[in-house]
Amino acid sequence: MPATRTWLKNPLAIFTANDLDARGGLVVQDGVIVEVLAAGQQPSAPCGHVFDAREHVILPGLINTHHHFYQTLTRAWAPVVNQPLFPWLKTLYPVWARLTPEKLALATKVALAELLLSGCTTAADHHYLFPEGLENAIDVQVESVRELGMRAMLTRGSMSLGEKDGGLPPQQTVQEGEVILADSQRLIAEYHERGDGAQIQIALAPCSPFSVTPEIMSASAELANKLDVRLHTHLAETLDEEDFCLQRFGLRTVDYLDSVGWLGPRTWLAHGIHFNPDEIARLGAAGTGICHCPSSNMRLASGICPTLDLTAAGALLGLGVDGSASNDASNMMLETRQALYIQRLRYGAQKITPELVLGWATKGSASLLGRSDIGELAVGKQADLALFKLDELRFSGSHDPVSALLLCGADRADRVMIGGKWRVIDGQVEGLDLKGLIADHSQAARQLIAGV
């Protein structure tokens, strides 16, 4: 029997992240886009299913390239609401050290569901906490990703530089280098999928210059090169971090990155705020990626990523919501809107358009993860789609549908498709007991803070 073809017909508007005319809609077969139809064009062959998209704005599924799923358990916690990064971390580390597999599973599911409802189809998570009893944290996350039917780049984070050796994390949250590298190899062998349509991928992600040793940075780079996986870390987020690198290593952040073998196209960095012009040029020449996290950077008063300078130099750029204790949401549409506004403050209204920023959230983010099969709407790409309606009060009186998504504050997709399968229908995640999840997760969050 021939595979069923689905025509998403005549959308209200469509953003393809390229120059294709797709006003006639898309034809999907076997989880892949097989036709992109111009205005007035009909499919080349009959379609078993036709979805009338005249009330929907269609986007490529949004791609989140930096998050800490576990942090959904410590959102809006009063002791850190008004703290900048370093004291914020030092206050939260002892709480996070109490994380259990059960709590991590709930936190991950909440973060993924929230992302999915915002139109996000692929998410990268940076998990670096492996206290006693949580050695299999990434395995726990794999199960949650599969349950929700999303795609994920799960990064095996690490912390190896504890307080007693001059780092920021408490000792109960750090691991020995041999343990980190052995688990990294295990996870890649067990879960990392390659090629178009991959659901689960693994990257290596020593946490930050102030929480890992140069040795684990170098060894991770060597292992990533050997096994052909990507590298991820936080870099140049705050001036405190810059001072730490100068005092401990005698190097600025990009010099340090270069010294441990990370300055190259395999690497993408979270935040990337405090770079000088020479460093921006070096990052661009190396083809290194930067994940802009506007909400977190504003919440912690860290600064503004120099996005256009970076892309002009040749660096890749995508977006991320960052951990849900510094955002404190997991919503990619709201993050894209925030990027539009904060970058206009830096570069002006005419240079930062809704289409540019939506491009960062889709095709740009895909490039950070090393993927060419997602992030845009074209023949041969995965059928990962986010569909939004403009029928709420907030959109009344709006004229340009694509701009309205950001300017009027869209925050919830009506439908989301991943690999040709509907995962959100009528604003609800298929097969998910959302009320039950919220109740269980809220209880786990209270227990984590209380230490029970």
Q: Give the residue among 219, 293, 217 at the shortest CA–CA distance from 255.
A: 217
For the chain, which ranges sit under pLDDT 50?
1
Contact 6, 27 (CB under 8 A): yes
**CA–CA separation, 196 vs 217, rounded Å?**
29
**CA–CA separation, 111 vs 420, rounded Å?**
22
CATH topology of 3-58+381-427 equal to that of 63-367? no
**CA–CA separation, 452 vs 449, rounded Å?**
8
Using the 8-state DSSP alphabet, how is residue 62 labeled? E
Which two three-digit tokens encode residue 406? 């950001």
Q: Is 245 exposed, middle or buried (0-12, 13-18, 19+ CB in 10 A)?
A: buried
Q: What torsion, rounded to 10 degrees, do the Cα atoms 388, 390, 392, 393 define?
A: 140
> DSSP letter string over 149-211?
T-EEEEEEEE----GGGT-SS-GGG---HHHHHHHHHHHHHHH---STT--EEEEEEE--TTT
**CA–CA separation, 365 vs 205, rounded Å?**
17
**CA–CA separation, 153 vs 268, rounded Å?**
12
φ, ψ for residue 269 (rounded to 5)?
-115, 140
pLDDT in tens, 376-403: 999 999 999 999 999 999 999 999 999 9
**CA–CA separation, 271 vs 305, rounded Å?**
7
Contact 377, 26 (CB under 8 A): yes
Beta strands 428-429 and 421-425: pairing type? antiparallel
Which two three-digit tokens encode residue 84? 């900048």
The residues that bridge with 52 in the sheet, in sequence order, are: 9
The residue count of the chain comes to 452
CATH of domain 3-58+381-427: 2.30.40.10
Beta strands 49-52 and 316-319: pairing type? unpaired
Contact 67, 58 (CB under 8 A): no
pLDDT in tens, 97-147: 999 999 999 999 999 999 999 999 999 999 999 999 999 999 999 999 999
The sheet carrying 5-9 orders its strands as 32-37, 25-29, 5-9, 49-52
**CA–CA separation, 49 vs 152, rounded Å?**
28
Q: What torsion, rounded to 10 degrees, do the Cα atoms 12, 398, 338, 426 define?
A: -50
Q: Give the residue among 6, 74, 54 at the shortest CA–CA distance from 326.
A: 74
Using the 8-state DSSP alphabet, how is residue 376 labeled? S
Please list, in sequence order, all residues whose beta carbon lies within 8 angstroms of the beta carbon of residue 423, skipping any fewer than 6 positions away.
116, 121, 148, 149, 150, 416, 417, 429, 430
**CA–CA separation, 321 vs 329, rounded Å?**
7
Cis peptide before 52 (omega within 30 of 0): no
Q: Give the residue among 219, 323, 347, 345 at the shortest CA–CA distance from 271.
A: 323
Contact 99, 134 (CB under 8 A): yes
Contact 355, 42 (CB under 8 A): no
What are the domain boundaries of the chain?
3-58+381-427, 63-367
Identify the sign of the CA torsion 371, 372, 375, 381.
Answer: negative
**CA–CA separation, 126 vs 220, rounded Å?**
15
Apex 106 CA angle, 103 and 111, nearest 5 = 125
Which two three-digit tokens encode residue 331? 């919503």
Contact 281, 289 (CB under 8 A): no
Report pTM: 0.98
The total of other beta-carbon atoms located within 10 Å of residue 207's CB is 28
Domain 63-367 has CATH 3.20.20.140: yes
Contact 378, 33 (CB under 8 A): yes
The pLDDT, as a whole number, for residue 172 is 85
